[in-house]
Structure 1
Amino acid sequence: MNGPEIHVEVAPELRLFVPHARRLGATALPTDGVSSLGHVVESLGVPLTEVGALVVNGREVPASHVPAAGERVDVRAVERPQRVPGAPLRFLLDVHLGTLARRLRLLGVDTAYESTDIGDPALAARSAAERRVMLSRDRGLLRRRELWAGAYVYSTRPEEQLRDVLDRFQPALRPWTRCTTCNGELRDATKAEVADRLEHGTRRSYDAFAQCAQCGRAYWKGAHHDQLEAIVERALAEFTDRGQPG
């Protein structure tokens, strides 16, 4: 390799983003004296949303730091729990994370979700406008500068995705308070109030209901309640009293 170099070591948790040949030990990279360290890290494949600190020769530096020849760089993973300053903790999920969105809403976490592919620019703009943490498995989306904040979803399994998000951000949990369809807030409702939304068998068999104040959907403890209850109980057992305020 010709020209001046820097030596970059990526934290083990982040090496899945790095091409195989560079995953072990420090990587020697050319430096041009112009490109920022953030640009260098992203060129390795690591989204900056996953970087907790950039340490150069033992001193933490911002992503805008321009590395000089011979510097040794440690790319560290985000510390957990990750705090998102300046806004209530809210999420935005892309079209591929519908099950995760419903489970976060089940736990009472404010979660917006795009059920159609509106494109990366529109998602990033919504994240910024509404101050929502963008959750995605799309590294290109997470590299967009206009994002309010973002996080990579590491697993393809909804159970693991949920646990990872709860562990990383530790949001306050308020189960059974949000509509899993639209994210609106639920309120108690009488059978008469929701009667026009119920099948005859449901009207006959159930007496306790809730209704979404936004879309009007009715909820009751139906056939799938035990499965949902299990998801809630697991989350509460592990994450109760660890959440962020608000």
Structure 2
Amino acid sequence: MDKPEISIDFAPELHVFVSTPRRGGWSAVRTDGSSTLGHVVESLGVPLTEVGAFETADGERLASSHVPVDGERIAVRAVVRPQPLPGPPRFLLDVHLGTLARRLRLLGVDAAYESLDIGDPALAARSAAEQRVMLSRDRGLLHRRELWAGAYVYSHRPAEQLRDVLSRFAPPLAPWTRCTNCNGVLRQADKAEVREQLRDGTERSYDVYAQCGDCEQVYWRGAHHAQLSGIVDAAVAEFGGAVVNR
């Protein structure tokens, strides 16, 4: 018996994952007659984290567990932006996204980060245990079923990565409230409290400080403050947020 043949049309946003012949229109795909629609799409290179919906040619929604039959025409839609989540987004970033993690924390976004390559199973397990959105450019990682949620980071440039995540998940922004070193929450600190951690020049030049409640890292408006303020101001201007003076 011949294997079923279906037609699939991928949304333009998903073309980065599929081979050139499958971009820009309907393409024929042979299935084994028993694999689910989700499995078929993943086998063509698209992580299900990036799929917003499956629809027949007449607009009927299909579940990823649907088993396609011969002759079906199925459109694969991209995720909607902002993508809804049950509660404020919390993220987990893999070892390759350290700069993005620090920029998210700079904006007050809860962004856990693994500085060591602990392996895909451990990352997926942490995502599930802590209910964090796994951010990665590793497509294989995003195929793992254990993930609580995941998202592919489309660019390798930190500025574009940040805009991608903010536009996709619309997390509440509260700049200058998180430690960029460990993700802990910052509190205002008197100079006397943190004097032992300051160099003489810093103590003489600055009067306003913040300290992480977890790792005790001390922050002040140093030489890089203007650059960091530029990142914060641009994000708040485009995506909104409460500006906290630090």
Q: TM-score, normalised by structure 1?
A: 0.95
SS in 2 for 1:214: coil
Q: In the alignment, residue 27 of structure 1 is paired with which amino acid?
A: S
Question: Which aligned pairs between 1:1-246 and structure 2 lie closer than 5 A?
Answer: 3-57=3-57, 58-85=59-86, 87-240=87-240
The 1:241–1:183 alpha-carbon spacing in structure 2 relative to 1, beyond 3 Å, is closer
Structure 1 counterpart SS, 2:231: helix
- Segments of structure 1 that go 5 or more residues without pairing to the other structure are none
Alpha-carbon shift at residue 22 of structure 1 (Å): 2.0
SS of corresponding position for 1:52: strand
Amino acid at match of 1:206: Y
Deviation of 1:73 (Å) = 0.5
1:176 corresponds to which letter in structure 2?
W
Q: Which moved more, 1:52-61 or 1:151-160?
A: 52-61
Q: TM-score, normalised by structure 2?
A: 0.95
Give distance in 2, aligned partners of 1:165 and 1:184: 20
- Deviation, structure 1 residue 204: 1.2
Distance 2:18 2:9 in 1: 11
Q: Distance in 2 between matches of 1:111 and 1:227?
A: 21
Question: C-alpha deviations, 1:181-212, integer Å up to 9, x for none?
Answer: 00000000011111111111111111110000
Give the length in aligned residue pairs.
240
1:241 CA displacement:
5.8
Give per-residue Cα distances to partners, 1:39-64, cap 9 Å, x unaligned.
00001101100000001242101100
Q: Please tell me the residue identity of whatever aligns with 1:71.
A: E
- Give the unaligned 5+ runs of structure 2: none
What displacement does 1:105 show?
A: 0.1
